[in-house]
Amino acid sequence: MERCSMEHKTAKKPSFAIAVMPLIVMFVVLFLGLGIFKIDIKILLLILAALTTILCLALGHSWREIEEEIVAKLAKAFPAIMILICVGLMIGAWIVSGTIPYLVYIGLKIISPQYIILTSFLVTVILSVSTGTSWGAAGTIGAALISVAAGMGAPLPAVAGAIVSGAYFGDKMSPLSDSTNMSAIATNTNLYQHIGHMFYTTVPGFIISCIVYLVAGFSFASSGTVSQVDAIIASLGELFNLTMPVGLILLVPPVVVVMGSLKRKPTIPVMMISSAVAIAIAIFVQGFSFQDCATSMVNGFKMDMFASMNVDTTNIASEVFRLLERGGMSSMMNTALMAFCAFGFIGALTVSGCLDIILEKIMKYVHGTGQLITVTTALGVLIITVIGEASVTFLMLGGLFREQYVQRGLESKNLSRTLEDSVTVVEPLVPWSLAGVFMSSTLGVSTLEYAPWACLCYTGVIFAILWGFTGFGIAKIKEGSDNYEEYMALNSSSKISA
């Protein structure tokens, strides 16, 4: 946590009982507000910020100190928020160019009715990574797959669990995902370093999930139709030019992002170049106007854009509308505003000193990397289970633990990965969370029924703790790394304090 300036040394230090009060109030306000009264999360965060500010003032802190802390946190997070907005712009560009439709198209082509459970997982993985949305993947192809599975007489809880696992694979690993970006924002970690580091826990989970779904599928013999999937494939083919060799051109925008990531180029310029390439494809290959492209990047893609091209959309599969009508910078503004409101609460909480008191109490019993990651994981699971809101959990735990990780010589990407492993993939297993409600209502299978089959949602927690104690896949701070200067400063101040 940022240290208070010299002029505020007269402020009172809260007792442990007072320190835990803001967190208790947070649980109550968010649980009641989100679960019972359905109040917008941003309003609840502002209420918590106001209450915590009152506590700060009562302890002797000034409003100026609180304001400076909030601004400092926003300043650190602003580059990541800019990336988040660019992600929305890029999604809009990728849709209008036909890139995302083509990735969905080739994903659907590999469906095998003989192995519907494994196929449901793999296809949803492809779609969720391509689009960066777990809800979009589950609400489009997931809904179609569950209907196909029902027609085949397949075990629906297993298929639904596979779809949820596949959807949240992309929610963790895609640079287009808001939760992936939010986890990086909360821990001040480079987005692509964060994603690369998650391979250590996500790839083993992916392999285990494939084995489980393959074995489960051996006992199921299918004899059904894939007409709904065929309808989506046919609809995409009618709307966009997806034929070869055009298909290879449509893959250029994601290749630009992948190459930029591998060469460690600045994220925002790479995204802008990829978007520019996508717009050129949209105009010269798909036949959209520049105005349609601009609208898609700002407000998201709309199906009525096909009207100007004299394309009839009346017979297009309904799932395609839900798949394509998304993206744009405006789609990310809600997440960005939520981050602003959350930093108001987290900033006031930091100034109050409550987090320091709580962390000091916890850290007395935490001595190694394994214990630190276990505590982080346990708190992540606990908080997401109680409040059912991932973004707030990210911001809260990121502010609580980041300094501890860096001071112990651990790269911040260890923390961002642990948050994804204990929060992102656990959220759809919570029946009262928005993710749990959405998945159960979309797939027609209750959370408690599909939860045992959502393998990927458990393996993250297991491997996070296992690697913490074994040291495998744990990134240490070295000279020249992003966290090196902060590591040296923190340890220098610790020696001076001692």
Q: Are 409 and 487 in contact (CB under 8 A)?
A: yes
Whether 72 is covered by a domain: the verdict is no
| Domain end call among 332, 358, 379 | 332
* DSSP classification of residue 34: I
388 and 484 in a single domain? The answer is yes
Helix/strand/coil for 224 = coil
345 and 492 in a single domain? The answer is yes
| Domain end call among 284, 312, 332 | 332
Whether 113 is covered by a domain: the verdict is yes
165 and 122 in a single domain? The answer is yes
The answer to whether the pTM exceeds 0.85 is: no
Q: Note the pLDDT of residue 5.
A: 43
Whether 5 is covered by a domain: the verdict is no
| Distance of alpha carbon 183 from alpha carbon 195, whole angstroms | 10
57 and 137 in a single domain? The answer is no
Q: Are 52 and 291 in contact (CB under 8 A)?
A: no
Q: Note the pLDDT of residue 280.
A: 97
423 and 493 in a single domain? The answer is yes
Give CA separation, 189 vs 72, 192, 196, 417, in Å. 16, 9, 12, 10
110 and 16 in a single domain? The answer is no
| Distance of alpha carbon 393 from alpha carbon 378, whole angstroms | 12
| Domain end call among 297, 332, 367 | 332
Residue whose entry in the numeric block shows the structure tokens 């609460």: 345
Whether 87 is covered by a domain: the verdict is yes
| Distance of alpha carbon 464 from alpha carbon 364, whole angstroms | 22
138 and 122 in a single domain? The answer is yes
- Structure-block tokens of residue 321: 């509308």
Measured from the Cβ of residue 114, the count of other Cβ atoms closer than 10 Å reads: 13
* DSSP classification of residue 329: G
251 and 354 in a single domain? The answer is no
136 and 35 in a single domain? The answer is no
- Packing angle of the helix pair 390-407, 412-419 (nearest 10 deg): 150
User: Greatest CA span in the chain, whole angstroms?
Assistant: 75
Whether 229 is covered by a domain: the verdict is yes
Give CA separation, 345 vs 43, 54, 367, 454, 485, in Å. 11, 11, 29, 33, 27
> What does the chain come to in residues?
498
Domain range for 436: 12-67+338-497
- Structure-block tokens of residue 266: 């600045």
| Distance of alpha carbon 410 from alpha carbon 272, whole angstroms | 32
| pLDDT one digit per residue (tens) for the chain, 498 residues | 444 444 445 788 999 999 999 989 988 998 888 778 888 888 998 999 999 999 999 999 999 999 998 998 888 778 778 877 888 898 899 999 999 888 888 877 776 667 889 999 998 998 888 878 787 788 767 877 886 777 666 788 999 999 999 999 988 998 888 888 889 988 888 888 999 999 999 999 999 999 999 998 877 654 445 566 778 888 899 999 999 999 999 999 988 887 886 677 887 898 899 999 999 999 999 999 999 999 999 999 999 998 878 788 888 877 788 778 888 899 888 878 877 888 888 889 889 988 788 878 888 888 889 999 999 999 899 888 866 678 878 888 888 888 889 989 999 999 999 999 999 999 999 877 778 878 887 788 888 899 999 999 999 999 999 999 999 999 998 888 888 888 888 887 555 444
Helices (H), 364-497: 369-387, 390-407, 412-419, 434-443, 447-450, 456-470, 484-497
294 and 434 in a single domain? The answer is no
- Give one word for 473, left, alpha or beta, with left for phi > 0 and alpha for psi -120 to 50: left
| Distance of alpha carbon 237 from alpha carbon 244, whole angstroms | 12
274 and 343 in a single domain? The answer is no
Residue whose entry in the numeric block shows the structure tokens 């994981």: 377
Q: Are 473 and 467 in contact (CB under 8 A)?
A: yes
* DSSP classification of residue 140: I
First-residue to last-residue Cα distance in the chain: 17
Whether 4 is covered by a domain: the verdict is no
382 and 460 in a single domain? The answer is yes
Helix/strand/coil for 285 = helix
Q: Note the pLDDT of residue 491.
A: 80
Q: How many domains, in total, are found in the chain?
A: 2
Q: Are 31 and 386 in contact (CB under 8 A)?
A: yes
Helix/strand/coil for 417 = helix
| Distance of alpha carbon 119 from alpha carbon 378, whole angstroms | 32
Whether 73 is covered by a domain: the verdict is no
Whether 74 is covered by a domain: the verdict is no
Q: Who's near 128: CB < 8 A, 6+ residues apart?
A: 134, 136, 137, 166, 167, 168, 169, 170, 171, 174
Q: Which residues pair with 410 in a beta bridge?
A: 476
